Chain A
Amino acid sequence: MKNFDIIIIGAGPNGLSAASYLSKSGKKVLVVEKNEKVGGLALYADSSSSLSKKVIDQLGLKINARKKRTFVTSLNDSFNHTVLEIDENNSIKFNECEASLEDQNSFLKLVKKYNLFAKTLSSFMFNTPPRVKSGNKSDLWQLISMGWKVRKLGKKNMRELLRVIGLNIADDLEDNLTNDNLMGILCNEAVLGSNLGPRSPGSILTLLYSNAINGSIFRNNNLDTEQIISSIEQSCHDRGVEFLKSSEVKKLLINNETVTGIEMNDQNIIESSTIISTLDPKTTYLNLIGADRLDTDLIRRVTNFRSKGNVAKVKIEFKNIIKIKNLDEKYIGSKFIYAPNIKYIEHAFNNNKYNNYSKKPCLEFYIDNKNISANLYYIPYLKNGSHDKKEIESNIQLILNNFIDNNELIKFEIDTPNEMEKKYNTSGGHWHHGDMEIDQLLIIRPFYGSAQYETPINGLYICGAGTHPGGGITGINAINASKQLLKK
């Protein structure tokens, strides 16, 4: 086998971005991917985050944005659906709404507040988070500048940010709104993909964080994931990156606390002094490195890293073209949300606490002619056993039959977190490789002892979604990690 400067494990958006970036700076890179197709978990996503635009720029690529989804529709059991229209500048218009004018205004004010805070947060994303006790001046300076960015919000806003950052979303919504549907729309954005319910502390932070990554509160981006993935992959090919697809890494070869290469499942050995793992922290540490090479304290942190996924991906095919009851046809391209009120979501979350799937789940879905692709939550990852998929199917059908006019379901496919784990080697099947909560973000993502994309093993770097700034298909993790690597 040839010699490579760097081996990258995993060809998800981060793996590809890192490969493209590093090969651009002259490194000889090999990307190893378990599956035949590159993209990883990102293949599940409808659109990439808006921040990935900046990554594309840094990689020196050009990409054509598609048309934004303009409508967000929240389905309502009494068929008074709420339809929001969102324009290019993210300003919101109420096309259909049963809420009072006062409520509508408060809603706009709330969104404005969240947008402002999210903007502050998004300015942290493109930096390697500082190390608090390193004694390094640049780390200290960065820490100060992070504080300054918060202070720059002004006294009133800063106080408000610090007040809400640990709060649950339900409290803040109930303080400001009365309409159930409007509350449901925002709750959906706060809890989707996290292990939180509307009343769990910290759910506002997850809302702000996802807002920061996506550049808009409703995640209506104009970047097509598949297009991004294929264009980065193309750039990798152009820059001489080699790919090894359909081959799984068994473990890392480590000698004297330094990586020397990888061993494949077929016993092949590829040597390299630098390896980047884009797998989630648990898989990287416990499977690739092996617990016997780690300090017990670190093993504790790895095993305590919360990475239980609870969103299932569902693909449904209907016999006829789908129509929604009591909704104008021009809104069919919108993002649909079925999370009618706080109580409903909280009840759905209750099942999750006890490792059961929600009997009455929440849905976020897109309609394409006869097809529906949906995010379904809460369907928790199970350590042992599996969910009753037939039961889940009939639960969804009960909801959809309510809203869809005379139609018949002919195909139903579901990927629960357990399947995602198997397909993409993501322990727990979590979208973001690990919960994005206050104790697993920034400086301490994924955990103490593994910050700044480094590991206790010399030459081994991590840049999966389990690192700062987390998941959401940004590729920033890869760019930050590559910069960190090139500094050495």
Chain B
Amino acid sequence: MNKNLSYKKPLLETPFHERTLEACYNNDWYRWAGYKIAKEYSSTELEYTSMRNTAGVIDITPMHKYDIKGVQAREFVNKLVTRDVSKIQPNQIMYIIWCNEDGNVIDDGTVFCLKEDHLKIMCAERNLNWFTDTATGFNVKIQDITETIAALAFQGPLSCKILNLLKVTDIENLQPFKFGNYKINKSDVLISRTGFSGDLGYEIWCNPADALNVWDSLFKFNRDYKVLPAGMNSLDMVRIEAGFIQPNADFMSAEQALRTNRMKNPYELGLSWLVNLEKNYFTGKKALKKIKNSKLNKKLVGLDIQGDKPANGSVLYDSNKKEIGIVTAAIWSPTLKSNIAMGYVDSNHMKLGSKVYAEIYHPEELEYKKIWAECEVVKKQFFNNNRKNAIPAYI
């Protein structure tokens, strides 16, 4: 039998697969960039709770990682992204987005500065093509190093405590959006204080050979602190609470959208703070200048919704029952005890405090309950704990 038949092994396995397979009681997998990632290990609610109360471990190895080397590395990234990253220092991380020539967002990610001439970009979608085309004329070398780095997100209020117990020296003094080289049970790791949960949390980047050692270490103190592996479903819950947006869920990546009017610019996504129109030329600058001076037609906002039924995929209306937008992500937030969502509203309802209405179809024992719920436009960042930025971090 040919073992290489594509249907025999349709998805790649991450270096953590041995453990995630064991933990994945439901055998419920999600396809992320050709890799198998657990959607839910046993219970989404439990996994969510571990991230909000102790700590959760998420396999984020499929995250695309690009290595950028060369004397013009910083200049290249500055040309690529809308934010001014020309002064990024070693050990610093910046959240970035990049746009196409029409000023529509292609993807977001983080840029890590290892040395002045050596950067790394981590992002959810494939971007090598875009990066190499952008690098035309720059003295840089770009490489896809996704497979050479195993990555875990370690998120939750006790994450620092557990790393401390693992004798990761001085981890509590690592500032948000900074990273450093550490050791976990003798394995060399790179730990960054970043994450997708809006709470205290770290991302751990290591050699695939050390992957299982790092994984096992994080669960070492489970007798006292219940750390759980968390799946994509629970990650989605925490990221909505934190108000983080996701390409191809909350907005269509400009490189993938087929219909031009479905693409979104940073102003529509509420990311104007990432756009610096004063810096040197970058892709989309001309278009973004124009967009900034014109009226916004749509904007992604946070919604606080009446009742307790999540408004997944709901259509939004104004008080005259005129359609004004759509919900892109919604959950009942167990921590906040409120019904929250992100969605697009029209120009008349962008202000905080505006009232809009969601039409929620809630399935209840084989029948739809149709709910007309009032929503208030609020900031997208629903969950924001002080722990996130505290130094030293809570141990």
Contact = CB atoms under 8 A, between A and B. Distances in A.
Interface of A: 257, 286, 290-293, 295-300, 303, 449, 456
B137 A292 contact: yes
16 contacts: A257-B281, A257-B285, A257-B286, A286-B137, A291-B136, A295-B100, A295-B101, A296-B80, A296-B101, A296-B134, A296-B283, A297-B100, A297-B101, A299-B137, A303-B136, A449-B101
A479 to B, nearest CB: 29
* Chain A interface main SS type: helix
Contacts of A286: 136-137
Q: How large is the interface on B (under 10, 10 to 19, 20 to 34, 35 or more residues)?
A: 10 to 19
B101 A292 contact: no
B75 interface: yes
Contact of B138 (A292, A297, A298): A292
A410 to B, nearest CB: 46
Interface in B265-318: 280-281, 283-286
A383 to B, nearest CB: 15
Contacts of B286: 257, 295, 456
A290 B101 contact: no
Contacts, number: 41
Contacts of B284: 295
B79 interface: yes
B123 to A, nearest CB: 15
Contacts of A292: 75, 79, 137-138, 280-281
A299 B136 contact: yes
A300 B283 CA distance: 12
B281 A300 contact: no
Interface string B233-264: 00000000000000000000000000000000
A178 B183 CA distance: 81
Interface string B133-151: 1101110000000000000
Nearest to B280: A292
Contacts of A298: 101
B221 interface: no
A446 to B, nearest CB: 16
Contacts of B75: 292
Contacts of B281: 257, 292-293
A295 B130 CA distance: 11
Residue among B130, B133, B136, B138 with max Cβ neighbours from chain A (10 Å): B136
Contacts of B280: 292
A292 B137 CA distance: 7
A409 to B, nearest CB: 44
Contacts of B136: 286, 291, 299, 303
Contacts of A456: 286
A296 B104 CA distance: 13
Contacts of A300: 133
B258 to A, nearest CB: 16
A296 B133 contact: yes
B283 A297 contact: yes
A298 B284 CA distance: 11
Interface string B109-151: 0000000000000000000001001101110000000000000
B270 to A, nearest CB: 23
Nearest to B78: A292
A286 B136 CA distance: 9
Given A295-B100, A296-B133, A296-B134, 17 more contacts: A257-B281, A290-B137, A291-B138, A292-B137, A292-B138, A292-B280, A293-B281, A295-B284, A295-B286, A296-B101, A296-B130, A296-B283, A297-B283, A298-B101, A299-B134, A300-B133, A449-B101
Contacts of A296: 80, 100-101, 130, 133-134, 283
Nearest to A298: B101
Nearest to A289: B137
Nearest to B80: A296
Residue among A292, A296, A300, A303 with max Cβ neighbours from chain B (10 Å): A296
A303 B137 CA distance: 11
Nearest to A449: B101
A261 B143 CA distance: 37
A382 to B, nearest CB: 21
A73 to B, nearest CB: 47
Contacts of B101: 295-298, 449
B341 to A, nearest CB: 33
A295 B137 contact: no
A291 B139 CA distance: 12
Contacts of B130: 296
